[in-house]
Structure 1
């Protein structure tokens, strides 16, 4: 055996140096396109299979908050107590907190990085926090030491918070002026019957300390959204007696803040499939309908296992509601609060219908809605989401109102249930949400409104623009002209391609549902999503993540030629684009029959051209690449081999 092995080895070595026509030239390949592009190896916190590891941890933040809304000077003032549980393996000498209201000052980083001409994220500059009486307690030791830097505050402890379950409390009083322009996220709107206060980022919030980056302390500039831990919230809002307050979570004291008539109507709404008025349009200024005729009322809400809460308060609200049917027979309630200017069946009169349909669809298709209520509020905000509550533009109607309502409530799945880092990875919430919006829109009322993803090729002008940026660009530095594509549409199209072109619906849905369930109320990173989809979907997709999510290249598959021979036809294909893709083609024969052929993506590992032998005795009339037109192929003029090019 040794002699045979030596002989074969000698012949092989000789062949390496043989010159002339018998020597084969090694062709360049595209293996680089298929290789790993980022470290996705596992550890004890996050596994290579895309699951939380055996020692995965995240910290917990529980809040008790009491605030008062002053509608004369437009201020919020109150008291906060945070119970912070340190589940990390290291003790903490301090915690960081977000003070997003400090964005609304003349010298904030967000103000100073706003272009002269402004942008969507304009904000007032006469606000900012007043923080007083801060106390940070651990192990019977109290500290008042803290350091405020722009939109962040570092709170120090005399004794560190112990690791692996140690607790600390941080309490403080706070006050600020509610901005009119709250960067299209919160603020106040003057309408005929009063003022609508849309309250979000309305209290100091703990930053996330995680196993990937430690403290996540990016400042709040505007475009980047939020990243928060989970916990239980108990909050009270004291407002003028004639205000209606709606908020995230469940109202705890309806008998104290709702009149008997309002309580009766709410009970009817909880059993109704269609909207029931709690406050009718002609009752907005009718004090007899309200629970009290002077002074103030305190509205008490609770919400469990959530990353945030928001609320709205106004004396100008029409208020209606209907029940939400959830899988397993569970119920929730859909509510809408809006001014008389927004009323009507062509506008906000259908808001509760839209909210109910959206939540029911996502609950059935992906993951059951976990919150007791879903509240839609009309405000001077283009669209902004919070757990169980959304703000949408008070002027929206019809298709626009459906689109923004559906999108904002879709965010309850990304990032409210699956708790991604919006400030860094906008595509993991905006893009995923835009993707699921496609299917909810197709399902709503038998397709009453069109989906924004109905044609992927309509975005080709952006795909071929030299100004385009990658999905992985941080939202705060993305050109705002590109943000709609990098955060919303390109990642959504990527998931659409995975579901309808690459993996197929069944494999994709199994993997995507598993991802949501596995990472519900946790903090997945991009690598966790990639790993999970590959492991459950059963496919190495490095080439796709690299090309689509971490690149700016485009798809351009081409039919180079079709040559007839004695066995049938040789179909010559070329990849004229920047990333590989499986090839789907429809072959139509002269006898009227047709067939579909699929070639795997691996044909492009060997180079940018491929020859496929189609054995058939029939005459081909036409070949069409991507017959369902799913791919955003930037040059579809080379996708067809028409009969006019066929030489008999």
Structure 2
């Protein structure tokens, strides 16, 4: 035991030293944009002044921008991806075969020149000097007139024109619910550069990473339009919808909308003449706006209920996962589902109340996992979507369903979906780049569900209280930065004193599964067996003939530490006995009891992701 305590202390000391990566740096951007929109042609003219600060330790000869609208053209990589993946997104395809023998055609392939999306760059200078640039799909490659030295800030001035695509994928025009303009991924966005190099992912409908910065955005569009947007509206008394006493100021029939946002890494907006605006404030002071189409009485009632629950959501997450740091959050109807952006989300809004609250909670939870932490969604998709789904589910059960503390797994449905994936033959490692999964099914189940399992099962390994502390410590160390999954692992090790290398490596980088069984119970002897190739610590609840119970805890040797006692009602009054650790190289484990068992249960909290549960219990 003394050896274990020493090892735990050394691990804790090491984790404190390295909880943040040595020499960490990140780039910074400041956007100032002026946009003139022609809503009749679905085109706009844009001007941008971008200050880019190179905080890396090397000079930059080139920079890159993302031109996402260019994906909505026949012959794009997104077009081909839709045509060739086994289970394409139905929102972007048409079945030209039969129900029995489907054959999918990309809707992008049939777009006419008036329907496609594009971003055409007219001019681009750096510090007043012309640059050399070329467009390659959705990437703009810029060769600089002079290098941007380490520690230097350069100013880019750009003018461009864009056409908003008819095909909706997050962005687009005239959504199925009738929203005129859904403006996401709408501006040339500086690509992300970090210790891993430039992140130059072609847009094929997955997600993003970008540097943090400030946004100052001016939108000029028809005076009858109402805008919902990232950031804080600077002139509510001059535009429609936000101030009942507003006197709309217009020139040439257009009103000017001015928004500012600080320390975000994406900016989105949507606009429609029929939008209504409502707002409320959380107890913690976050102003929550809803901007939506009041299609009917039920829709309006649902949005009102959802708005109040959204305010409660920010208070809930502030307590559990760290304070929401921005003054506003805007929920805008638009797009084709739900997608998170800086201090805002676009969602489809004609939903029944449970669905509406669920999608709002999910996208708002992205304010932590992804937006506050700047997670690379193209690399660690499970860290983004899985942890967000975990936050969403905890909040939904607490606020919408009004359920108290659960004795068993609160994300058990995610476990069930993961089991189906693991047994389907379609599973791929979660470490796979998000764009490269063979099927959308494998991607979504791994990212959204197996990612939740990783988080909840981590609580099983280190203890639920330690998991809760890990989330808050991670917030403290990594807010407004770009952490990796390894950074989260290190914080969990620091908090718990438990080595987690084995868990994160095997659960993320492989498709190995967990499968334990109670092999036999013979009088006072219980034999357990690991039938799989992924070893885990074990909680074993034993009930005896006299009605008493005992919880046997078997650590895994690789943990180099022990989980503390957990405060679950199912364990109240239960004696806890810590046994010698189990080696991952040893397939079976035998323990002795002092009384005769009548019932034995592996993992009564249901947090161990065991793919075959029928052999996890024994009854005399």
1:454 to 396, 401, 412: 412
User: Is residue 237 of structure 1 aligned with residue 219 of structure 2?
Assistant: yes
2:589 to 610, 631, 643: 610
The 5-angstrom pairing of residues 46-65 of structure 1 reads: 49-53=18-22, 55-65=23-33
CA distance in 2, matches of 1:452, 1:181: 37
| Contact 1:51–1:518 (Cα < 8 Å) also in 2 | yes
The 5-angstrom pairing of residues 38-187 of structure 1 reads: 49-53=18-22, 55-115=23-83, 118-120=88-90, 122=92, 124=108, 125=111, 126-137=116-127, 142-163=129-150, 165-183=151-169, 185-187=170-172
The 5-angstrom pairing of residues 11-410 of structure 1 reads: 49-53=18-22, 55-115=23-83, 118-120=88-90, 122=92, 124=108, 125=111, 126-137=116-127, 142-163=129-150, 165-183=151-169, 185-189=170-174, 195-211=179-195, 213-223=196-206, 225-258=207-240, 262=244, 295-326=253-284, 331-341=285-295, 344=298, 347-410=302-365
Tell me: CA distance 1:586–1:58, structure 2 relative to 1, closer, same or farther (3 Å).
same
| Contact 2:238–2:248 (Cα < 8 Å) also in 1 | no
TM-score norm. by structure 1 comes to 0.81
Tell me: CA distance 1:210–1:376, structure 2 relative to 1, closer, same or farther (3 Å).
same
Deviation at 1:335, TM superposition (A): 0.9
Aligned to 1:535: 494
Tell me: CA distance 1:90–1:47, structure 2 relative to 1, closer, same or farther (3 Å).
farther
- Structure 2: state its 5+ residue gaps: 1-10, 93-106, 558-581
| Contact 2:373–2:481 (Cα < 8 Å) also in 1 | yes
CA distance in 2, matches of 1:153, 1:502: 45
| Contact 2:535–2:556 (Cα < 8 Å) also in 1 | yes
Q: Secondary structure at the match of 1:579?
A: coil
Write out per-residue CA displacement over residues 127-168 of structure 1, whole angstroms, 9 at most, x where no aligned residue: 21111022122xxx60231121111111222211121x2111
Q: Secondary structure at the match of 1:158?
A: strand
Deviation at 1:248, TM superposition (A): 0.7
User: Is residue 622 of structure 1 aligned with residue 591 of structure 2?
Assistant: no
| Contact 1:83–1:169 (Cα < 8 Å) also in 2 | yes
2:429 to 470, 482, 496: 470
Aligned to 1:424: 379
Write out per-residue CA displacement over residues 343-365 of structure 1, whole angstroms, 9 at most, x where no aligned residue: 52663232312321222211121
Bigger drift between 294-303 and 351-360 goes to 351-360
CA distance in 2, matches of 1:260, 1:405: 21
| Contact 1:259–1:290 (Cα < 8 Å) also in 2 | no
Aligned to 1:570: 525
| Contact 2:286–2:311 (Cα < 8 Å) also in 1 | no
| Contact 1:380–1:393 (Cα < 8 Å) also in 2 | yes
Deviation at 1:438, TM superposition (A): 2.2
Tell me: CA distance 1:453–1:197, structure 2 relative to 1, closer, same or farther (3 Å).
same
CA distance in 1, matches of 2:183, 2:526: 61
| Contact 1:50–1:535 (Cα < 8 Å) also in 2 | yes
Write out per-residue CA displacement over residues 86-112 of structure 1, whole angstroms, 9 at most, x where no aligned residue: 111111122111111111111222222
CA distance in 2, matches of 1:612, 1:455: 32
| Contact 2:68–2:185 (Cα < 8 Å) also in 1 | yes
CA distance in 2, matches of 1:260, 1:244: 9
Tell me: CA distance 1:106–1:373, structure 2 relative to 1, closer, same or farther (3 Å).
same
Tell me: CA distance 1:494–1:343, structure 2 relative to 1, closer, same or farther (3 Å).
farther
- Structure 1: state its 5+ residue gaps: 1-39, 265-288, 644-648
Write out per-residue CA displacement over residues 413-434 of structure 1, whole angstroms, 9 at most, x where no aligned residue: 1111101111222112111111
Aligned to 2:568: none
Tell me: CA distance 1:99–1:526, structure 2 relative to 1, closer, same or farther (3 Å).
same
CA distance in 1, matches of 2:422, 2:410: 16
CA distance in 2, matches of 1:105, 1:260: 36
Write out per-residue CA displacement over residues 230-264 of structure 1, whole angstroms, 9 at most, x where no aligned residue: 11110011121111112111111122225895259
| Contact 2:518–2:528 (Cα < 8 Å) also in 1 | yes
TM-score norm. by structure 2 comes to 0.85
Q: Secondary structure at the match of 2:314?
A: helix
| Contact 1:383–1:408 (Cα < 8 Å) also in 2 | yes
| Contact 2:168–2:175 (Cα < 8 Å) also in 1 | no
Tell me: CA distance 1:191–1:607, structure 2 relative to 1, closer, same or farther (3 Å).
closer
**Runs of 4+ deviating beyond 4 Å:** 258-261, 289-294, 448-452
Aligned to 2:366: 411
User: Is residue 495 of structure 1 aligned with residue 455 of structure 2?
Assistant: yes
CA distance in 2, matches of 1:131, 1:64: 17
Q: Secondary structure at the match of 1:94?
A: strand
Query: How many residues in Structure 1 have an aligned counterpart in Structure 2?
Result: 557
